[in-house]
Structure 1
């Protein structure tokens, strides 16, 4: 039987998460002030840590919603501590999403926390569990883009503006991708409880390949990739962020590559 002390420890924010958040704050300050011998490295650390923080919040939202929905095993698994090392698949949840950012400037979602769906009897609650993660990314979109559509970035260092724009792009792409009704993604999890048992059984063998299929289409089918990023940039422009800003943010992020002349000229002033 769990004691009060055990329940408290199950909900204590992990030092690992706090450390990642601290890296985001410190490197964000370094990008803002220019207090860094390598601006690109500072941008890389700021965006990567910010992206990981949002991934932790994404998984936490799934777990917290499942906990309130009836899965009382969530706390004992460590999912409520925001510790990425407690996830069922740290490689899928953290490492692969960061690799996708490096490879294609894409906020592709990773794996999820393990939810015991049988404990959640309501179909509405099961749908909410799946929707909670991408809705958290949507909140991040609002937070990261607010300085742009509120017009409060006058005088802000252009390098920080670019880095924040790129981080916002990752969140926008994550929201869109997560809500795709593809097995293995949260969008399918939202509609799955409402499908017949027969359909769910037919889809189940292919669920493990859903994320892989999305990756393949986006990276190896130019038409699909172009259409997807056209949608992402349309959303970004609606939020007050120009495509050049996100491009230069990604250009700075890839600090080990030669920076484009256009972005270098803008950053150097």
Structure 2
């Protein structure tokens, strides 16, 4: 994913990118809290304060290379009425927030039509939100998509639990070998086209 972004564009878009990370994690915390889990509040994550959510190394890598991470929100699924379904809802909240931000950015861009450095920043904010959403929906632990898939599979999804300890290793392997790009880029492009088209329709109907 890093090859898609140039450092200047990412630095220009840095405030919006940091907002994307913060709101992604806050969405996880808010939904978990709403479903009855006190863990995020106890951990100080039920806040929009960036310092509570940002991982220094992950944020720096995101700004410089277009790939990074934030601090995972601690969640205890046993506080949910249905642990699997609750975890799926908590997991889906992050990517859904990024998609909503990307859509809002596309609408703003269509209405405002920013140019120059501002236009570059707006474009990168939309792109990074789409990529964050699509990447996190990949069904490999500990990404959000694995929690959603685990709930859908029910009793037959035990293999995902077994994969939990090795998920990051598998992700790193897929990233280093650029194997993930074969899926990530086409899916992100498809989502961006869809959101951009929907935003154009909304902006055009103002």
Structure 1 residue 161 corresponds to structure 2 residue 119: yes
CA spacing shift, 1:136–1:208, aligned 2, 3 Å: farther
User: Please, which of 65, 78, 88 is the counterpart of residue 127 of structure 1?
Assistant: 88
Runs of at least 4 residues off by over 6 Å: none
What does 1:14-33 correspond to in 2, within 5 Å?
A: none
Task: Please list the CA deviations of residues 33-73 of structure 1 after superposition, one character each: whole Å capped at 9, or x if unmatched.
Answer: xxxxxxx86x5544222211111111111111111111123
Residues 78 and 135 of structure 1: CA distance in aligned 2, closer, same or farther (over 3 Å): same
Matching residue within 171, 174, 182 for 1:217: 174
1:76 corresponds to which residue? 42
**Residue in structure 1 matched with residue 140 of structure 2 by the alignment:** 182
Of 7, 30, 37, which residue of structure 2 is paired with 1:64? 30
Confirm or deny: 8 A CA contact 2:25 2:94 kept in the other structure: yes
Partner of 2:108: 147
The residue number in structure 2 matching 1:229 is 185
Aligned CA RMSD, in angstroms, stands at: 2.8
- The DSSP-based 3-state class of the residue aligned with 1:56 is helix
Q: Is the 8 A contact 2:91 2:144 kept in 1?
A: yes
1:263 is aligned to: none
1:116 matches 2:83: no
Q: Which has the larger radius of gyration?
A: 1
CA distance in 1, matches of 2:187, 2:39: 39
Match of 2:161 in 1: 204
Shift of 1:185: 0.6
Give the distance between the partners of 1:63 and 1:205, measured in 2 at CA: 25
Partner of 1:102: 64
Contact 1:181 1:191 in 2 (8 A): yes
Structure 1, gaps ≥5 residues long = 1-39, 241-269
Q: Secondary structure at the match of 2:120?
A: helix
Unaligned runs of 5+ in 2: 1-6, 198-206
Secondary structure at the aligned position of 1:81 is classed as coil
Distance in 2, Cα, partners of 1:137 & 1:53: 10
Tell me the CA shift for residue 128 of structure 1: 1.0
| Distance in 1 between residues matched to 2:76 and 2:16, nearest whole Å | 29
Provide, for residues 113-157 of structure 1, a one-character-per-residue CA deviation record: whole Å limited to 9, x for no partner: 000111112243332111111111111111111134x3531xx33
In structure 2, the residue matched to 1:15 is none
Rounded to whole Å, the distance in 2 between the matches of 1:125 and 1:73 is 14
TM-score by length of 2: 0.76
TM-score under structure 1 length normalisation: 0.60
Contact 1:169/1:236 (<8 A) preserved: yes
